[in-house]
Amino acid sequence: MRIKSIFYVLLFLKKYKQEIKPALFSIAGLLLFFILIEIIFPLPEIKPFSKVIMASDGSVLTAYLTKDDKWRLRCTLDEVSTDLINAIIEKEDKFYYWHPGVNPIAIIRAFATNLIKGKRVLGASTITMQLARMVSPADRTYFNKIIEILRAIQIEIHYSKKTILEMYLNSLPYGGNIEGVKSASYIYFNRPPGRLSLAQSVLLTVIPNDPNLYRIDKSISSAKSKRNFWLKQFARDNVFSQNALQDALNEPIETARYQIPSIAPHFCYYIMNNFTGDNLITTLELDKQKKSETLLSGYVERNKAKGVSNGAVLIIDNSNSNVVAYCGSADFSNQSASGQVNGVRAVRSPGSTLKAGLYAYAFDLGILTPKMKLLDVPTDFSGYEPENYTEKFHGEVTAEFALMNSLNVPAVRLLEQVGLSQFLLLLEKAGFSDIIKQKEKLGLSMILGGCGVRMEQLAELYSTLANEGKLYSLNYLKEANRKEYIPLFSPGAVYVVSQILSGIKRPDFPNELLNRTRLPKIAWKTGTSYGKKDAWAIGYNPNYTIAVWMGNFDGKGSPHLSGSEMAVPLLFDLFNAIDYSPKKKWFKIPKDVGYREVCVETGKIPSKNCQQITSDYFIRNVSSNNVCDLYKEFFVSIDESIQYCTECLPVTGWKKVLYPVYDPEICLWNSLNNVGYKKIPPHNPNCQQKLSSEGPKIISPSDNFEYYIENNSEQQILLQAASGEGVQVLYWYINDKFFIKSKPDVKQFFKPEKGRIKITCLDDKGRSSTVLVNIKEY
């Protein structure tokens, strides 16, 4: 069938080739002509549009001038009211959808009329021809009109009717630096083009005819007269309903020039500088943004008397990692409080907020479970001696108590145990770029705030805790879909951390919140920087993560700038405002988390000697399965006053008794603080056997550390060691020369000489330890 059809076509061409040849040559010539036009006179580039930043619902947050200082906001036909589209086509080009860019009949009619009248009284420019003139402005001559016609045909070949109409509406001049119906809608009427009244729509068809005469921010009389002329014309032509036209005639015109909206300015500046495109629909949700701004500004105003002038808030939707609210300061326009500084992006000390990540990491390493014990005692980390916020120590505490109460010494000891370099690698993986830039200079103090972070980095980390340990990049644009993630923690580790941080029986829970009838269930962590310059509170539930910072951008501190006093109340207000009735109540316990019995005194799996048992979370196949070895049997005298070893054990007069064997540092802490506990009796003084266990642990001075003392001063260095049970006397040696003997719980001091010094501590069991220090003068 196909072969037969081709045969008939060939037969037809052969028979009528003489008649068809001229037509084919004409078509070929026309095509060649337009190809040459394309090559010699390519279409000019479309003028750049203003960058428009929009909220998730499409409403305009703000816009920025183009490089040629124009307000040129791009819009689509879907954004424009049908009244405006119908009016512009009816007024400018009734046959727009029927001609190929040029209306020959209109051209002939206009030419004849103008020739008879002797002047230009009638135009023939189609919408496409007007667009050609706007993209390539030129004097109005007959030659330029021919060029304009060719350009119009060229445009029609390149673009659809819909696209051409959009380009036309986006190019119309409205006086001054205003171009396009969207720009005019916002600047003249303070509304989007889709919400224009009929009167406003017709007015926007009139102004481009003479923008300087009809622009309504200067005068309204000429514009109103011209508008009413066309409304009456539309009435005669039945373009719109008579009632609508009558209402439009009665509608007043206000002389005004509104400012382009400026909502969430810090957020918009960030979008403008980091994303390309002229119409950017973001993830920001206006209702949450407005609530956040209102709560933040009001809260800062109420706390100005406490020396706090600013704050910042960031809210993340945990279901998709969208940034739904972003307040860089309490008031962008407040120059006295440096309101234009973006607190979300500013590098600040995080205080204790990184501790949540450290504990989750330790849980994943299997070295810790919530009920396991950590030491909270004075500790010298090579010259660095951290203190708790309350300036008190607690001795031996559980990991959950240490995290919930944000104890500093246990956190520093834990960081030393997991390894600073390993934790920094984790933070690098989590996107803490500012910490990584400083990593060569960072020490153990970084876990207490001795580093710089940004709010967005902290919020992303805490959102990871709400997303089963999966780190997703924050979404700022609505079109972005959350796909790839980095597995930062296990679901079990973040669940355990969330359970700990959701408790309210803790010191950073403000008393003012206790009387509230409704408190949202959230997990949260506070942070306070050194010198009380930064107050943090970061909280999360399954639905949202909210980060709050309070402080002063000039770096001034305040005695009230603590996370618990200044940031937590606002955090709870924000959760109540945006998630009062949460869709998802709380996190489900992951499959890798179990519950097991542990010893109360160590948090380890109980042995037969453990006297008190409790329950604790653990991560299957990860958490340590070490059995508690705190209690050990000792040979003691009947009255339990003397301890025997196998070498000095008498034939009779002894018994076996269980005693707890504590870390030497805890023994020292208990002794110094009069904490009673069951002590192992001193070893038989007549025994000649030398014990082989470890000797005393020198706490001060630190090994291989440089000490600087003032020249010709009386400065002294502390000698202190932690010893095991039963030790009664310590002997101190300086450079192998006897210095002094003392009881284990008594502090001794010595005046050092310049140079390298060897310090040895010997206990009454013959066990010893040594440190080397270097003394320098200044």
- Tokens 């095991």 — which residue? 724
Question: For residues 87 and 57, what is the distance between their CA atoms, to the nearest angstrom?
Answer: 27
Q: Which of 723, 722, 763, 725 is nearest to 741 (CA)?
A: 763
User: How many angstroms separate the Cα of 440 from the Cα of each of 2, 350, 424, 444, 446?
Assistant: 78, 18, 10, 12, 12
The string of DSSP letters for 479-535 reads: T------EE-S-HHHHHHHHHHHT---STTS-GGGTT-S-----EEEEEE-TTS-EE
Q: Tell me whether residue 498 is one of the annotated catalytic residues.
A: no
Residue 297, judged by CB atoms within 10 A of its CB (0-12, 13-18, 19+), counts as: middle
- Is 92 an annotated catalytic residue? yes
Extract the tokens encoding 242. 């008579």
* Half-sphere exposure (Cβ direction) of 254: Cα atoms closer than 13 Å: 7
**Which listed residue (56, 92, 671, 769) is catalytic?**
92
Task: Count Cβ neighbours within 10 Å for each residue of 184-214 and write b for 16 or more, e otherwise.
Answer: bbbbbbeebbeebbbbbbbbbbbbbeebeeb
Alpha carbon distance 248, 234 (integer Å)? 11
What number of residues does the chain have?
Answer: 778
Residue 291 and residue 276: Cα distance in Å, rounded? 29
Q: Can you tell me whether residue 615 is helix, strand or coil?
A: strand
8: CB partners within 8 A, 6+ apart: none
d(CA 624, CA 679): 28
Taking the C-alpha atoms of residue 403 and residue 232, their distance in angstroms, rounded to an integer, is: 76
DSSP string, 418-453: H-HHHHHHHHHHTT-HHHHHHGGG--GGGGGT-S-B
Instruction: Please choose, from the candidates 85, 86, 120, 122, the residue with its C-alpha nearest in 3D space to the C-alpha of residue 103.
Output: 122
Token output for 630? 């705190």
Q: Which residue from 32, 703, 44 is spatially nearest to 380, judged by alpha carbons?
A: 703
Q: Nearest-CA neighbor of 760 among 738, 732, 739, 737?
A: 732
User: From the candidates 50, 183, 321, 352, which is the catalytic residue?
Assistant: 352
Q: Distance from first CA to last CA of the chain, Å, rounded?
A: 106
- Closest to 529 measured CA to CA, from 474, 463, 458: 458
C-alpha 387/C-alpha 619 separation (Å) is 31
Helix, strand or coil, per DSSP, at residue 694: coil
Any idea what the Cα angle at residue 98 is, between residues 95 and 104, rounded to 5°? 70
d(CA 83, CA 200): 9
Check if the beta carbon of residue 771 is closer than 8 Å to that of residue 735: no
- Would you name the residues annotated as active-site residues? 92, 352
